[in-house]
């Protein structure tokens, strides 16, 4: 897989303004030969955890997730896929050991695994299949903020399900980008839709301080899934999307499509600071 992106690996200046989103589909990688080759990439700890999964589906999903992050990271660094080592912070967000300047985040579902990579900025990603929308909507009173719930109540049932799916993925991506895990409650911040900005992030700085941080975020749909991306950037990044089939074929770059990025601006933060006093 390494040679396909070799020309990109040394372009540091431009790459700092880019994000790389990688997709893998576990159901496309069920062949026993592929499974065995993927397992060889794992560390001993990963292999032990892989074997502990009781359900075959969960076991395979974990294997493809670990394979994807290793093979994708190796497109932007000379480290071989099997040589990567990782650590997690106190909230469970992983990073490379030693720090090589790459940041990444993972999200997985039975039908899709995604890996978002940057050269420096913190990132977060979440993926959910469309069919989870109804389940998420039922959880709305527990996980969404009062302003979000008010907007949901004004929507038709179909729109409400779609909005719930978007809110969930955005919130998960934000929490993962901030690397705060369960210490940050989902109803302590809001993604509000409408107005000139399209979507705006409102944060209560008493529970979620944001000194000087600028976030860019977007929503994508791909192969029956809703995906939210979050990056700590001042300017809208360029996004490359890649489809990976480890040990079956070379990765394929997907056609570029228009991405609408939303942001938390300095004005937003100033207003939020006033609200929190």
Please give the tally of structural domains in the chain: 1
The predicted structure's pLDDT at residue 179: 85
Host domain of residue 247: 2-276
For β-strands 18-24 and 238-245, DSSP reports them as: parallel
Q: Per-residue confidence of the chain (277 residues) as pLDDT tens digits?
A: 433 333 333 334 447 789 999 999 999 999 999 999 999 999 999 999 999 999 999 999 999 999 999 999 999 999 999 999 999 988 888 999 999 999 999 999 999 999 999 999 999 999 999 999 999 999 999 999 999 999 999 999 999 999 999 999 999 999 999 987 667 889 989 999 998 889 999 887 665 666 667 899 999 999 999 999 999 998 999 999 999 999 999 999 999 999 999 987 544 443 444 444 4
pLDDT computed for residue 125 by the predictor: 98
Please tell me what DSSP assigns to residue 134. Answer: H
36-44: list long-range contacts, CB under 8 Å, 24+ apart: 37/246, 37/247, 38/63, 38/64, 38/66, 38/67, 38/246, 38/247, 39/63, 40/82, 41/66, 41/67, 41/70, 41/71, 41/81, 41/82, 42/66, 42/67, 42/82, 43/85
Residue 206's pLDDT is 64
- CATH number for the domain spanning 155: value is 3.90.470.20
Residue 137, phi then psi, degrees to nearest 5: -60, -35
């Amino acid at each position: 897989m390494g040679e396909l992106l070799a020309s990109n690996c040394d372009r540091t200046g431009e790459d700092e303004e880019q994000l790389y989103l990688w997709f893998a589909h576990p159901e496309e990688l069920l062949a026993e030969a592929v499974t065995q080759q993927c397992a060889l990439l794992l560390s001993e700890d990963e292999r032990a955890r892989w074997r502990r999964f009781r359900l075959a589906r969960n076991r395979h999903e974990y294997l493809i997730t670990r394979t994807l992050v290793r093979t994708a990271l190796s497109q932007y660094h000379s480290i071989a896929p099997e040589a990567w080592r990782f650590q997690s912070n106190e909230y469970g967000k992983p990073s490379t050991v030693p720090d090589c300047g790459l940041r990444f985040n993972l999200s997985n579902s039975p039908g899709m695994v995604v890996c978002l990579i940057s050269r420096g900025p913190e990132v977060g990603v979440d993926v959910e299949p469309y069919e989870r929308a109804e389940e998420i909507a039922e959880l709305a009173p527990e996980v969404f903020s009062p302003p979000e719930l008010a907007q949901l109540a004004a929507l038709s049932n179909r729109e409400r399900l779609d909005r719930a799916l978007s809110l969930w993925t955005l919130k998960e991506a934000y929490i993962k980008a901030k690397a705060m895990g369960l210490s940050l409650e989902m109803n302590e911040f809001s993604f509000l839709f409408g107005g000139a900005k399209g979507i705006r992030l409102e944060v209560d700085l008493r529970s979620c301080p944001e000194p000087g941080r600028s976030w860019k975020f977007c929503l994508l749909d791909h192969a029956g899934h809703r995906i939210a991306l979050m990056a700590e950037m001042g300017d809208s990044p360029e996004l490359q999307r890649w489809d990976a089939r480890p040990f079956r074929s070379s990765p394929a770059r997907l056609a570029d499509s228009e991405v609408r990025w939303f942001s938390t601006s300095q004005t937003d933060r100033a207003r939020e600071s006033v609200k929190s006093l």
